[in-house]
Amino acid sequence: MSVAAPPSTPLIDSIRSRRIRITQLVAVGALVLFLAGAPSVVDSFTLAQILTKALWLGIAAASLIFLSSYGGMISLGQTGIYAVAGFTMANLVHAAGGKHLGWDPLAATAVGIVVATAFGLLCGAIAARSYGIYFLMITLAISVIVFYFFAQVTVLSGYGGIRSVTMPAVIGNPITDPIPLYYTALLASVLVYVGIRYLARTPFGLALQGIRDDPARMQALGYNVPLHRALAFGVGAFIASIAGILSVWYTTQISPGGINVAQTINILVIAVIGGLYRLEGAWIGAIVFSTIDNYSRVWMPNVGDWLGPDRFETVIGVIFLVIVLASPGGLVGIWEGLWGRRRRRRSPEESSGIPTKGAVDDAVDHPAAV
Amino acid sequence: MRARRVQPIHIPKEVNLPRSQRSVGSRRLFASIALLPLLALAACNSSPSNTPTTSSAIKIGILSDCQGDFGSFYNDDLGGALAVLAAHYGGKATGAKPSDGMTGAKIGGKDIQIVGFGCSDSTANKAIEETRRLVEQLGADILIGPLSGDEGIAVANYAKTQPNKTFLNGISGAQDATLKVQAPNFFRFNPDGAQWSSGLGDYAYNKLGWRTAAVIGDDYAFPYTSLAGFIAEFCSIGGSIPNSNRIWPPLGTTDYSSFVTQIPKNIDGLFVGVGGAGLITFLKQYIQLRGALNTKHIMGNTFWPDPQLLKAIGTPMVGAVAASGIAGDASFPQTQAYKQELAIYPATQADAASVFTLGYWSAMTALGQALTSVNGDLSNGQKALQTALASTVVQGPYGKISLDSNRQAVFDNWIVQITPPPSGSNVPGIKTILRVPKVDQTFGGFFSPTTPAPSRTDPTCTKKTPPPWVGNETPVDFSAGNVQY
């Protein structure tokens, strides 16, 4: 890799990196402080309906972003996979509807995750040889099949779904006391984030990124490309299944209405709003989504029959369009763009010396050209 | 060498770079992540939930569906509820549509504040989110809603977690919401799906002489409940409907031919619980495959006396009977008064015969009466209001509505018959022929909190003591004008 280091003096370098490190520390510190202390600063409604919801939706979107940013696979199957986890868990415990087998909720959770991951590996094996629009269609079909399966197999769910799902003792009743579920979702989000960042640096993750950039070349190097992609899809399924379990804990029920095509699109919208190629975008997109979902019904003025509190889909659709047109990298992309411009303005020597962000990317995308 | 199958996407991925060569963008990203929740927090703190509730206004939230299968009835639902405030309590509409809001109403000397309208999509998830927004964020003391079955069960369960608030059902009709959930602060002034079918089992067995019947309905909760009402009554008298005679096409079926062929031929009659657009298709295909409708051997549930259906199928339906909570030709003073009350919203008034409008109207009417009787007193966890509601009787447009000990409506159901079109029209009419008195949710003990929820195979067909109204239906003729209210 022959990307040149910035031609700056060691002194400027060290000052700059120290300033960045301080900014970074302050930012991370503020974030940790806020997230850890949220239950005592926000009311229980906001904690549950905005933050907790954003955390589990973020995990679902993270599974999609993991596949798209590291594997080049934009999957619409994540909703179907998390539904399998949720329905498996809900069928195994005491509940109204479904099999209500009366298992221990934690054991049921573990089995739900295992079943959904296995289901994801199977789907991955089917979809792994497809690319682009064909991959998108196969994964969309997975979600649609799962929706109709649970809607029509009434012994497992039916349209009414499974209600009053028994919670693990650590969660309690998330409606009367949302705090345990919030911390659980927060812990799960942190583990997912760290886990994906770690996985991306392992030989498995690096090879996956190689496959994303040039599957033919990786094949020539001796990698089993379909197997690698199928395994990555399985990892994505594992992450999605965590979101599925949390979604059941969040609502204490699961029904096909919550995992339909609209929800599939919602997960994609969250990922795109946040930034389809940055892991952080998953949670940023999710918090924007759940905030708009909730508050647009309060803020939105009535404008004839065109706009009103019932036009959430219109609002989120317009935001989606604007993001796609203005910043394909989502909100994270906008932020990075702003920082990049300011940086270049402040230190002109950088712009002449250091390759721009885009150039770095090009260099990485096409190492042979550098 | 194989050709490349896919164009690589240009993606920023500095994770590939050694740490020293990574751009600083990712680090600055942390700052952006840190800022977002802080911004959200600022937004939350300015939300109404944190403003102190010093005023003595009574805060009401109304929850309905603005999206999904029933979204088109949104303004009919809200209109039914708000029209009561305008007609009796001095409410002034803020705009032409009910969703524009209403101000100025007073009950028992207290201002009525409509804090917001919940906008669900017939899923339990959204109903709960919207309920929580109205109750926890906007601070509603009293919630009216929701609209559909699964939502009702979810909201009734939620009501248990808010014992100091009061919930009045909108028009959701799942049996479990009251029979099983039994939230002490959840009141339902509309019948459940089974109650709407009452009287037909008796009619089929004793008037039409059916002994073995089949049923067909969409494969989800409402038709299960609706058909359960017929099965319970018909079987308790001595009729037979084995599981093999219960046919459940999936919701959204567009071709019913394979389901029509599954209907056994050696039966005395068929009870049809297919709903919505599917019903027109079903009846057309039934006629194609089995010949003209013999209205002595087929009957329908509350979906049948529907103008659109009558227009689409026309005269072949003449003579068929169905059950409905709405006696379309009723001429009580209360029927007229009800239509007058809705005049504030002309579009809602045009849909006065809609069960959706009636359900929300009944809830707000009951609430207004109960609040008046306690002088708007919401202290002590609204206990006075809840006690008053339990004994409130609504003078509905089609009869009185009272509550049983489970806070579930007891009402008079109606058996209607489809009549030949009036001259100059080819759309059949409706004539109410029987009143089914005092229909309660348990069907005289057939359903109880411990019986399984209605499903493909429940209730099982067993002979029991028939419901109390069996044999006590009274013939009515509204055209004669002497029907007792």
Q: Is residue B23 part of a domain?
A: no
> Mutate which of A339, A341, A344, A357 to test chain B, going by most B C-beta atoms within 10 A?
A339
Give the distance, in angstroms, between the CA of residue B254 and the centroid of all CA atoms in the same chain. 24
Tell me whether A34 touches chain B (CB under 8 Å). Answer: yes
Q: Flag if A3 and B20 touch (Cβ within 8 Å).
A: no
- In CATH, what class is A44-328? mainly alpha
- Asked if residue B111 and residue B224 are part of one domain, the reply reads no
Q: Is residue B19 part of a domain?
A: no
Q: Flag if B25 and A214 touch (Cβ within 8 Å).
A: no
Instruction: Report which of A24, A73, A50 is spatially closest to residue B129, judged by C-alpha positions.
Output: A50
Regions in chain B scoring below 70 on pLDDT: 1-55
- Asked if residue B385 and residue B299 are part of one domain, the reply reads no
**What distances in angstroms separate CA B41 from CA A186, A281, A296, B131, one per listed residue?**
17, 19, 16, 22
What token pair was written down for B236? Answer: 């308790």
The ipTM is 0.78
Q: Cα distance from A270 to chain B (closest Cα, Å)?
A: 15
- Asked if residue B225 and residue B120 are part of one domain, the reply reads no
Q: Flag if B125 and A253 touch (Cβ within 8 Å).
A: yes
Phi and psi at B8, nearest 5°, equal -65, 145
- Domain end call among B410, B441, B468: B410
What token pair was written down for B286? Answer: 């039934």
> Mutate which of A16, A46, A246 to test chain B, going by most B C-beta atoms within 10 A?
A46
Residue A304 contacts by C-beta under 8 Å, 6 or more apart in sequence? none
Q: What is the dihedral of CA B167, B173, B179, B180, to 10 degrees?
A: -80
- Asked if residue B294 and residue B426 are part of one domain, the reply reads yes
- Asked if residue B406 and residue B428 are part of one domain, the reply reads no
Q: Residue B444 belongs to a domain with what CATH number?
A: 3.40.50.2300
Q: Is residue B339 part of a domain?
A: yes
Q: Flag if B38 and A30 touch (Cβ within 8 Å).
A: yes
Q: What pLDDT sits at residue B45?
A: 42
Q: Which residues of B touch A163 (CB under 8 A)?
A: 124, 150, 153-154, 157
Closest residue in B to A201 (Cα) is B15
- Residue range of the domain that includes B433: 195-324+420-480
Render pLDDT for B147-204 as a digit per residue (tens, 0 to 9). 988 899 989 999 999 999 999 999 999 899 999 999 999 999 999 999 999 999 999 9
| CB < 8 Å from A in window 7-26 of B | 8-18, 20-21, 23-25
Closest residue in B to A284 (Cα) is B33
| CB < 8 Å from A in window 135-164 of B | 136-138, 149-150, 153-154, 157-158, 161
Q: What pLDDT sits at residue B162?
A: 93
Residue B209 near residue B176, CB atoms below 8 Å:
no
Q: Flag if A361 and B99 touch (Cβ within 8 Å).
A: no
Q: What pLDDT sits at residue A347?
A: 60
Q: Cα distance from B430 to chain A (closest Cα, Å)?
A: 33
Residue B150 near residue B93, CB atoms below 8 Å:
no
Total of domains in chain B: 2
- Asked if residue B186 and residue B66 are part of one domain, the reply reads yes
Radius of gyration for chain B, computed over Cα atoms and rounded to the nearest angstrom: 26
Burial A178-193 (b: 16+ CB within 10 A, else e): bbbbbbbbbebbeebb
Closest CB to B125 among A38, A131, A251: A251
User: Is residue B175 packed enough to be buried (19+ CB in 10 Å), middle (13-18) or exposed (0-12)?
Assistant: buried
| CB < 8 Å from B in window 100-129 of A | none
- Asked if residue B127 and residue B103 are part of one domain, the reply reads yes
Helix (H) or strand (E) segment spanning residue A106: helix A105-127
Token pair 């929820």 is found at B453
**Looking at this protein, which amino acid is placed at residue A12?**
I
Q: What is the dihedral of CA B392, B393, B394, B400, to 10 degrees?
A: 160
- Domain end call among B357, B392, B410: B410
Q: Which residues of B touch A155 (CB under 8 A)?
A: none
Number of Cβ pairs closer than 8 Å across A and B? Answer: 238
Render pLDDT for B400-451 as a digit per residue (tens, 0 to 9). 999 999 999 999 999 999 999 988 888 899 999 999 999 999 998 899 999 9
> Mutate which of A1, A13, A24 to test chain B, going by most B C-beta atoms within 10 A?
A24
Q: What pLDDT sits at residue A354?
A: 36
- Asked if residue B335 and residue B252 are part of one domain, the reply reads no
Q: What pLDDT sits at residue A336?
A: 81
- Domain end call among B363, B378, B410: B410
- Domain limits of chain A? 44-328
Q: Is the peptide bond before B397 cis (omega within 30 degrees of 0)?
A: no
| CB < 8 Å from A in window 365-404 of B | none
- Asked if residue B316 and residue B426 are part of one domain, the reply reads yes
Q: Could you list the pLDDT tens digit for every one of the 370 residues in chain A?
A: 444 455 567 777 777 777 777 887 898 899 989 999 999 999 888 999 999 999 999 999 999 999 999 999 999 999 999 999 999 999 999 988 888 899 999 999 999 999 999 999 999 999 999 999 999 999 999 999 999 999 888 889 888 788 889 999 999 988 888 999 999 999 999 999 999 999 999 999 999 999 999 999 999 999 999 999 999 999 999 999 999 999 999 988 898 988 999 999 999 999 999 999 899 999 999 999 999 888 887 777 777 667 776 777 888 888 899 988 988 889 988 888 887 776 666 665 444 333 333 433 443 444 333 3
Q: What pLDDT sits at residue A306?
A: 74
Q: What pLDDT sits at residue A350?
A: 43
Q: Which residues of A touch B128 (CB under 8 A)?
A: 251
Tell me whether B72 touches chain A (CB under 8 Å). Answer: no
Q: Is residue B352 part of a domain?
A: yes
Phi and psi at B437, nearest 5°, equal -80, 145
- Asked if residue B475 and residue B359 are part of one domain, the reply reads no
Q: Cα distance from B182 to chain A (closest Cα, Å)?
A: 14
Q: Cα distance from A20 to chain B (closest Cα, Å)?
A: 7
Tell me whether A209 touches chain B (CB under 8 Å). Answer: yes
Q: Is residue B38 part of a domain?
A: no
Q: Is residue B130 part of a domain?
A: yes
- Asked if residue B167 and residue B202 are part of one domain, the reply reads no
Residue B248 near residue B191, CB atoms below 8 Å:
no
- Asked if residue B476 and residue B360 are part of one domain, the reply reads no
